[in-house]
Structure formats: structure tokens, C-alpha cells
Amino acid sequence: MAEIVAAVPQRVARRPRLRGVTALLGTVPFFAYVTIFLVIPTLVVVIGAFAGSSGATLENVKALGNSYVLDAFGRSIALSAISALVGAVLGALLAYALVTARPDGVLRRVVTAAAGVLAQFGGVTLAFAFLATIGLSGFITVWLRDTFQVDIFANGVWLFELPGLTLVYTYFQIPLMVIVFLPALDGIRPQWREATESLGGTTWQYWTRVAGPLLAPAFLGSALLLFANSFSAYATAAALVSQGSPLVPLQIRGALTSEVLLGQQNVGKAMALGMVVVVSVVMALYTLLQKRTSKWLG
């Protein structure tokens, strides 16, 4: 009997260990995915950025100071900032409209589902949709030209330049903002507005002194996420811009695939390293803002 009683604690101690091992085994696919598609490509980029034909070198990184590379980074940052700002403002307004609707209503469910789909609607499909709609031979372009004698491309082919890319990028930035900002708006409690009104506060005072400061970290964090999403986008710009390389992702493509400028592969990896640094800084700021937001959302 004594031996049985002594064996019971050992069995009880083994169960938490087995559960811990089982939990670790469940994370193996996730860590394998992260290693294959994130860690290894990042290491390849970092090593390649400092590799040369005769060993380690800084020439690839120094090439980032060339005017065409700086111009590409400037255009990419401008495109990302503008599309993120427009998408954040319009997406926040749409998210607020959804919050005022019934939580279990059809409108909210339909718009939320559509936002989830449209946020991932990019690449060649999105570029083709805009070309077929407002391209040089798009049906709206032709209709305006034939019906009202209005040529939307009278001042240049803006759709294939920075203004057009901004419009196309904003298309998937708005629904993404709805998805990431809606939980913050749901976290605003009606009792806070009632308390403000009971103390004689106005709607303006409520938004500027209560809801605004609480939502500011979530709004800025969501805008940073939109910036990173736009800055790293490639397929949409590649489908629209057939000549030249106005953005960093297109510059990287040219360095890796160009038959005119040979031996530029490592310069392309250096530009990719620059993108990794920019996105890392943005996501670090996003994480800090999310931590601050989670304090009152919890």
C-alpha cells in the first residue's frame, strides 16, 4: 500500500510534464513556418548585403547612397505615408459607422466580411480591375470621354505614376484599417460618454478629452501597420508600372533580374536590407502603441 501511495505523486508530476511536451510539439509547425519563410530569407538578405566577389564588403551598403536608390526610397515612403494616412482616416470613419450599428446586425457582418476579403485583394487582380475601370481604355474612361467629352488622362497618364499608385493602394488600405481599428472602437464603453454628459461635458469635450486620447495609440498603431503593408507591397506596383523602377521593390526586382546591369544581385539584397530596417522600426513602434492600447482595452 505504501508503494502505491508513493507512486501516485510521481504519476501526478509526470502529467504536467507530458502536457508541456505536447504543447511544445504543437508549436513546431509554427516555428518551422517562421524559420523557412522569415528567418532564413532574412539571413540570406543580411549575408548577401555584405557579400562581395572577394569576400565581405561594404560596397553594397554604400550603394544605398546612390541618387536613384534614395529617390526610390523617398517615393516608397511617400506612397506608403499618403496611402496609410488616407486609408487610416477613411477606414476609421467607416469603422465608427459600423460601431454605431447593431453588433449582431446584417450590415456589420456584411461590411466586416467584405473588409476581410478586400484587404487581401491586391496584386495583379487589383491592378487589372483598375485598368479595366479607369485605365486608358477602361469603361469609365471611355464613358466619360464619349458622353461628357471628359478625358481623365488629359494631363498625363497619372494612373501609372505616384498619384495612381496611391489611389490603388488606398483601395486595400481602407478595409485593412477597418479590421485592425474596429476592436479599439468596440473597447470604448458607453458609460464613459454617459459620465461625460452627466458632468456637463459636450460631445466635443468627450472626443477631445476622453475617447480621443484613448483611441490615439490604436489609431497611430493601425496607421503604422498600414504604412508597413504599403511599403512592402510589390505585385500591384509591378503590374501597373511596366517601365522604370520608381519604388524600392521594383528596384530590387531590376537588380536581381536585369540583363543590362550584371552583378547587382547583392546590391538588391542591400536594398532589401534597407526595407527590413524601415519595416522593423515601424513595427517596433506599432508594438509599443499596441501595448499601450491593450492596457485600457483589457
In the 3-class helix/strand/coil scheme, how is 189-212 assigned residue by residue?
CHHHHHHHHHCCCCHHHHHHHHHH
Full residue range of the structural domain in which residue 18 is found: 1-49
Strands 55-56 and 51-52: antiparallel
Would residue 180 count as lying in a domain?
yes
**pLDDT greater than 60 at residue 7:** no
- Residue 248 and residue 125 share a domain: yes
Would residue 237 count as lying in a domain?
yes
**pLDDT greater than 50 at residue 70:** yes
Question: What local confidence, expressed as pLDDT, does residue 3 receive?
Answer: 52
**pLDDT greater than 80 at residue 10:** no
Question: What local confidence, expressed as pLDDT, does residue 244 receive?
Answer: 66
**pLDDT greater than 50 at residue 5:** no
Question: What local confidence, expressed as pLDDT, does residue 192 receive?
Answer: 86
Question: How many domains does the structure of the chain reveal?
Answer: 2
Question: What local confidence, expressed as pLDDT, does residue 53 receive?
Answer: 75
Question: What local confidence, expressed as pLDDT, does residue 290 receive?
Answer: 80
In the 3-class helix/strand/coil scheme, how is the chain assigned residue by residue?
CHHHHHHHHHHHHHHHHHHHHHHHHHCHHHHHHHHHHHHHHHHHHHHHHCEECCEECCHHHHHHHCHHHHHHHHHHHHHHHHHHHHHHHHHHHHHHHHHHCCCCCHHHHHHHHHHHHHCCCCHHHHHHHHHHHHCCCCHHHHHHHHHHCCCCCCCCCHHHCHHHHHHHHHHHHHHHHHHHHHHHHHCCCHHHHHHHHHCCCCHHHHHHHHHHHHHHHHHHHHHHHHHHHHHCCCHHHHHHCCCCCCCHHHHHHHHHHCCCCCCCHHHHHHHHHHHHHHHHHHHHHHHHHHHHHHHHHC
Residue 154: which pLDDT band, with cuts at 50, 70 and 90? confident
Would residue 54 count as lying in a domain?
no
Mean pLDDT of 169-196: 91
Would residue 59 count as lying in a domain?
no
Mean pLDDT of 186-213: 88
**pLDDT greater than 70 at residue 18:** no
Measured over the CA atoms of residue 131, residue 133, residue 134 and residue 140, the dihedral's sign is positive
- Residue 76 and residue 38 share a domain: no
The mean pLDDT value of the chain amounts to: 86
**pLDDT greater than 80 at residue 32:** yes
Question: What local confidence, expressed as pLDDT, does residue 9 receive?
Answer: 53
Mean pLDDT of 274-281: 94
Residue 51 bridge partners (DSSP):
56
- Residue 22 and residue 87 share a domain: no
Would residue 38 count as lying in a domain?
yes
Kindly state the percentage of the chain with pLDDT values over 70. Answer: 88
Mean pLDDT of 255-283: 84
Question: Distance (Å, rounded) from C-alpha 287 to C-alpha 275?
Answer: 18
**88-126 pLDDT per residue, tens:** 999 999 999 999 888 788 888 999 999 999 998 888 899
- Residue 70 and residue 23 share a domain: no
Residue 132: which pLDDT band, with cuts at 50, 70 and 90? very high
Kindly state the percentage of the chain with pLDDT values over 90. Answer: 50
Mean pLDDT of 17-21: 66
Give the alpha-carbon dihedral of 172, 178, 184, 186, to 10 degrees.
-170
**pLDDT greater than 90 at residue 222:** yes
Question: What local confidence, expressed as pLDDT, does residue 265 receive?
Answer: 82
Would residue 55 count as lying in a domain?
no
What CATH number is attached to the domain comprising 111?
Answer: 1.10.3720.10
Q: Nearest Cα to 253, choosing from 65, 72, 35, 56?
A: 72
Question: Distance (Å, rounded) from C-alpha 71 to C-alpha 247?
Answer: 8
Residue 1: which pLDDT band, with cuts at 50, 70 and 90? low
84, 92, 106, 197, 226 from 207: Cα distances, Å: 22, 14, 28, 12, 24
